[in-house]
Amino acid sequence: MRFERKHAVLLLAVAAWNVVTFGQFARTLWSAYESGEERATGYWVAHSILIVVNVAIAGLLGSLGWKAFRQTR
């Protein structure tokens, strides 16, 4: 499959969106934890795993997007 420049830009944009939104989510989650919000341990673990997985997906999409972007010059 050949990527065009528009595909590369889309992959990079989705990767950036994931980092920004899940970065904000991580900050909010940490603030709730620090303020002593009462939640079950499973809540903190599940949401932390979601953040890690989505940042990893962003890294993969960003890597693919960057490679495609360089190849379409």
Quick: pLDDT tens for 5-45. 999 999 999 999 999 999 999 999 999 999 999 999 999 99
Which pLDDT value is given to residue 73?
A: 81
Q: Which helix (H) or strand (E) holds 13?
A: helix 5-34
**Residue 20 amino acid letter:** V
Residue 36 falls in which region: left (phi positive, over 0), alpha (psi -120 to 50) or beta: left
Contacts of 41 (CB under 8 A, 6+ apart): none
Rounded Cα distance between 60 and 73, Å, is: 21
Give yes or no for residue 1 having a pLDDT over 90: no
Question: What is the model's pTM?
Answer: 0.86
